[in-house]
Amino acid sequence: MKRNMLQWLAIGLAAVLLLTGWGGVLPVDRVYADNTTYYIDSADGNDSNNGTSEATAWRSLSKVNNRNFLPGDRILFKSGGSWSGSLKLKSSGSDANPIVVSKYGDGPAPVINANADYAAINLENVQNVTLENLELTNFNPSNPDDYKTGYYRRSGIWIKAFHNGPMKNITIRNMDIHDVTGMNLTGETTTTTTDGKDKGVNKNANAGIQIEAWEFETGRPKAYYDGLTLENNHIHDLAVMGVNIAAFSSDVAYFNRNVAIRGNTVTNTGADGIVVGVSINPLIEHNVSLDAGAFAPGIKWIAGIWVWRTDRALVQFNEVGRTRAEIKADSDSSAFDTDLATRGDHIFQYNYTHDNAGGYFMDMGQLKSGINIHRYNISQNDMRDGWHSYTMNINDPGIYYNNVFYNDTGVGFQMKNNANATFLNNVFYVTGPSPVTETYPTGPKFVNNAFYGKAAPTQGKNNVVGDPGFVDPGKGSDGRNTVDGYKLKPNSPLIGAGTVVGNNGGRDFWNNPIYRGLPDIGAFEDASDAIADTTAPAAPTSLAVTDFTDSTVMLTWSSMENGVELDADIYNAANDERLGSVIASNVVTLTGLTPDTDYNFYVVAKDRNWNESVSSTSVAVRTKKSIIVDNPSVTGAWTASTGSNSYNNNFVRIAAGSGLNTVRWTPNVTIPGFYAVYYYLPDGGSSRAGNAKYTVTTSAGSKTYQADQRPVRGGTWNIMGIHTFNAGTSSYIQLSDAANGEVVADAVKLVYLDGFGLDDIVSIQLFAEKLQLRAGETTRISVTGTDSEGLMVELPTDSAELSYSIDHPTIASINGGVVSGLSDGSTRYHATFSYNGRTVESNSVEVIVGPMVSIETPVFTDAAGQVVSAIAAGTINVSSRVINSSEKHMNATLIVALYSPAGLVEFKSQEIVLNKYDNSTLSLSVTVPESAAGHSVKAFIWDNLNDMTPLAESVVLQ
């Protein structure tokens, strides 16, 4: 009775304050001085009780759901009890006094089975709530396997915010969540649930723990969370993903923040392990994800732990193992992934991964304003059964140092060729029962790495080749405590053989401090290493400016030791401010500089123990002049927008139309001459225009450029071309709504090209969007010209002409920079640039026109590369090009078999996954013995080794 009186007093006081016009906030601790504990007993409780003691406990979930609770209240379920249905709190706690849902008494955890409802705990627009110490399930007891034949939206916990943010302090800990039989339908596909309650949903609609923030409507508050803690939960044996944090804002100001996912064990799921999206600096640590995708059939596109639309995620001390790949062509199945629309540095450190079907790591090539950093991780027997066939499908810029990549299964270790990746102090240990024929890619930078079982990359610097001297490698099993075999023996050649890396985390995988003397290679830093190096390197020489714009400067210099470029810091000589750093490089591009400004730079080199040189001599440059127009004139109903990596945080947008709605930028040109014209592109998406049309109009005429505004990674200046501008405001750039999707208009920029002249164009390069077409399809081509100073410009320009020619006009035609496929076959085309009586020829580009998939007849050659038509002793090479002109990835496998009169002697296979609109040549070799009589070589092209569906007729050399 005392508590009810307090409630009425609080309501009355609030009413008085409102009537008197006082706008303050009630001091929460004074109004809610007494926190009440409520008890729920499924066996002996009674909803007629007051619920405030174990002896007067309530009985049902409905009693709890219909109660308005106050900050600091505790709602306790009796251990050993069970309930059917959903717990649906409608009350919030306060920052100082959260509402806590937990258990009381000894015995098994209380069980809530949602009984095929949306969630066992279903919360909407509540905050300051702690959920703990319960067991949750969600299945249909009368038909527990219904998820195998139907689609149902079911979660263990579903917490959502609609147009409310920030929602604060949601904590979920020590929960046991299992037997949640929702849908694991791939995220690329949507469906209506079998019960008809939800439309357009897929695996992202449910999870063991599902947390979402929705804000679809303009003019409404933004929904996001401030304070999400998920810790020490056991999520297992369920058809859905383990943890899914999602939201819909594309503005980082409304991302979730203070997110911590720690100490959770997620095993035997029907989809991903842990997915964290739309969050600032989430912390994902000390979690275990095992057997993701093992529970439910039909899995596609999953990973163990991955992030999307996150800003600076930290992923550390986790274990990810045995992520499944049921259908290779439709599987990511890697341990980690930085996915769509990520930004900022993403750090993966001190993790242990093993036996993941799709490899150790992949990224989507969309990371903006940052890099992927992988350090002191151990990858054991991560495979290559994802659609990409890589152990590491890396596309974003990244640095990988002091990791161990071990594989003794015989499938090898392969990474995508990424010129923006740097590898330092890693161990690549690749062995197995079958020979490993792959080579390391030529694009990445390799410095001070160790290689065993597979030839080191030819571009590698300071390679250590041979047995690394591990204590007992390959013995890791489940548990981060099982990998001590990757420590180094006292006589290991990797001790002291590494190079210093800055901002390195300060510890190795086993918490040993780094560095002690010279760095070691691998994830272990040896305690006995006392190698000292205090000799400074020589000062860098030949510092020069090799390119510059209005806001960027490219510098090159010379600084090496033992044939290896040194690390370096780059400084502004005016104030000794450090402007950038490089690793093992003699080149840097400085960004964010001020236009039309004098700069002086110098460089300081660092050796592998980070002894610093004296500074180089300085070099001077003045950045180019530029004109930025950010406030265009608008015709039509364009909508003002903010964020999304836009210039000055504003832009306008409009739905696709007929071209009547326009935006016009009119620069005020003070110096006539050549200008490079750029448009600024905010973050995009699939709903944006793929063919937005910008028209540059000057006294020389008009030229229209077609721009793809869909790229998710925005915040970039994109060049259209070079034009001559007269002084004044007679020239302009215009954008219309005539497009195939939403059109956005931000800023434009003109960069003055002092001294530029088309007479200096010395070469032109031809590019195509697609290298193969089906009949009736088209692709656009572009031409870049390079002048004698290396300045690259988009052609054509004013007063210059481009003409095109094609070898076989019956196969493809070319008109105005658009190539159209006409009939099956291949042909080549090129461009000619004409200006003031001079002509320059471009490179020749092949275009293939044909069906969705075509296989070129295998060719047999000898060791010298000469085509052979009869069997002979020695090496026989077999090669065949596979052409994929479809919108889907496809598998292709070349199998080459050598037969003797007695039967099969040997066979080899090479399997690839082709991207859409891509082609690749498969090649294998066999050795025919001296007694070649009666032998034959047979070549098969099949889709993969599992299904063995032929893609082409076999070919025999005999």
Return the HEC string of 379-405: EECCCCCCCCCCCEECCCCEEEECCEE
At CA 622, angle to CA 617 and CA 628, rounded to 5?
Answer: 145
pLDDT digits (tens, 9 = 90+) for 32-73: 336 999 999 999 999 999 999 999 999 999 999 999 999 999
For residues 321 and 360, give the distance between their C-alpha atoms in angstroms, rounded to a whole number.
10
For residues 808 and 418, give the distance between their C-alpha atoms in angstroms, rounded to a whole number.
35
Q: Nearest CA to 486 among 436, 450, 529, 530? A: 450
The secondary structure of the chain in percent helix, strand, coil, rounded to multiples of 5, reads: 5, 45, 50
**Is pLDDT at 555 greater than 90 in this prediction?**
yes
Q: Nearest CA to 362 among 382, 376, 343, 345? A: 382
Task: Give the burial class of 290: count Cβ atoms within 10 A of its Cβ; 0-12 exposed, 13-18 middle, 19 or more buried.
Answer: buried
* Strand arrangement, sheet containing 541-548: 541-548, 553-558, 587-590
At CA 519, angle to CA 518 and CA 525, rounded to 5?
Answer: 120
Torsions phi, psi for 203 (to 5 deg):
-60, -25
For residues 201 and 185, give the distance between their C-alpha atoms in angstroms, rounded to a whole number.
9
Question: Residue 517 — very low, low, confident or very high, per pLDDT cuts 50/70/90?
Answer: confident
Strands 761-768 and 176-180: unpaired
Q: Tell me which amino acid residue 657 is.
A: G
Position of tokens 């434009």?
748
Question: Residue 180 — very low, low, confident or very high, per pLDDT cuts 50/70/90?
Answer: very high
pLDDT score at 783:
83
Question: Residue 529 — very low, low, confident or very high, per pLDDT cuts 50/70/90?
Answer: low
pLDDT score at 89:
96
Q: Is the dihedral of CA 490, 493, 499, 505 positive or negative?
A: negative
Give 154-199 as a DSSP string.
Answer: -EEEEEEEES--PEEEEEEES-EEEEE------TT--B--TTSS-S
First to last CA, the chain: 99
Q: How many CB atoms lie within 10 A of CB 633?
A: 11
Average pLDDT over residues 866-895: 87
> Which residues pair with residue 738 across a beta bridge?
657
Q: What percent of the chain has pLDDT over 70?
A: 93
Contact call for residues 423 and 501 (beta carbons, < 8 A): no
Q: What percent of the chain has pLDDT over 90?
A: 68
Give 432-485 as a DSSP string.
Answer: -SS-------SSSEEES-EEESSPPPTT-BS-EES---BSSTT---SSGGG-GG
Q: Nearest CA to 894 among 936, 950, 939, 954? A: 939
* DSSP secondary structure letter of residue 712: S
Strands 743-745 and 651-654: antiparallel
Give the E-state strand segments of 64-165 in sequence order: 74-78, 82-84, 99-104, 111-113, 119-124, 129-132, 135-138, 155-162
**Is pLDDT at 28 greater than 50 in this prediction?**
no
Q: Tell me which amino acid residue 622 is.
A: R
Q: Where is pLDDT greater, at 248 or 191?
A: 191
Q: Nearest CA to 181 among 212, 156, 164? A: 156
Question: Residue 779 — very low, low, confident or very high, per pLDDT cuts 50/70/90?
Answer: confident
Enter the tokens of residue 649.
Answer: 């945080």
Helices of type H across 574-648: none
Instruction: Give the lowest-confidence range in 233-247, 355-369, 528-542.
Output: 528-542
For residues 504 and 345, give the distance between their C-alpha atoms in angstroms, rounded to a whole number.
13
Torsions phi, psi for 18 (to 5 deg):
-65, -40
What is the four-CA torsion angle of 548, 553, 554, 560, rounded to 10 degrees?
150
For residues 653 and 659, give the distance between their C-alpha atoms in angstroms, rounded to a whole number.
14
Q: 271: number of CA atoms within 13 Å, CB side?
A: 28
Q: Where is pLDDT greater, at 437 or 833?
A: 833
Q: Nearest CA to 203 among 282, 114, 289, 269? A: 269
* DSSP secondary structure letter of residue 147: G
Q: How far is CA 153 from the centre of its chain?
A: 27
Residues belonging to the chain? 958
pLDDT digits (tens, 9 = 90+) for 280-299: 999 999 999 999 999 988 88
* DSSP secondary structure letter of residue 4: H
**Is pLDDT at 669 greater than 90 in this prediction?**
yes
Cis peptide leading into 796, omega within 30 of 0?
yes
- Tell me the pTM: 0.77
Q: Where is pLDDT greater, at 431 or 245?
A: 245
Average pLDDT over residues 677-687: 88
Enter the tokens of residue 562.
Answer: 């033992």
Average pLDDT over residues 736-749: 96
pLDDT score at 769:
73
* DSSP secondary structure letter of residue 365: S
**Is pLDDT at 24 greater than 60 in this prediction?**
no
Q: Where is pLDDT greater, at 479 or 3?
A: 479
Q: 345: number of CA atoms within 13 Å, CB side?
A: 9
Contact call for residues 160 and 123 (beta carbons, < 8 A): yes
Enter the tokens of residue 246.
Answer: 């999602």
For residues 298 and 252, give the distance between their C-alpha atoms in angstroms, rounded to a whole number.
34
pLDDT digits (tens, 9 = 90+) for 128-159: 999 999 999 999 999 999 999 999 999 999 99
Q: Nearest CA to 276 among 298, 304, 295, 299? A: 304
For residues 211 and 438, give the distance between their C-alpha atoms in angstroms, rounded to a whole number.
43
Q: Tell me which amino acid residue 511 is.
A: N
Question: Residue 850 — very low, low, confident or very high, per pLDDT cuts 50/70/90?
Answer: confident
- DSSP-based three-state secondary structure for 10: helix
**Is pLDDT at 27 greater than 50 in this prediction?**
no
Enter the tokens of residue 921.
Answer: 């040549």
Cis peptide leading into 166, omega within 30 of 0?
yes
pLDDT score at 410:
87
pLDDT score at 506:
95
Contact call for residues 742 and 654 (beta carbons, < 8 A): yes
Average pLDDT over residues 23-38: 52
pLDDT digits (tens, 9 = 90+) for 86-134: 999 999 999 999 999 999 999 999 999 999 999 999 999 999 999 999 9
Position of tokens 């460089």?
603
Rg (the chain; Cα; Å): 32
Contact call for residues 58 and 39 (beta carbons, < 8 A): yes
- DSSP-based three-state secondary structure for 341: coil
Q: Nearest CA to 572 among 542, 603, 548, 549? A: 603
pLDDT score at 15:
37
Mean pLDDT of the chain: 90
pLDDT score at 329:
82
Average pLDDT over residues 232-253: 93
pLDDT digits (tens, 9 = 90+) for 313-337: 999 999 999 999 988 888 899 999 9
Q: How many helices (H) and strands (E) does the chain have?
A: 3, 76
Q: Tell me which amino acid residue 695 is.
A: T
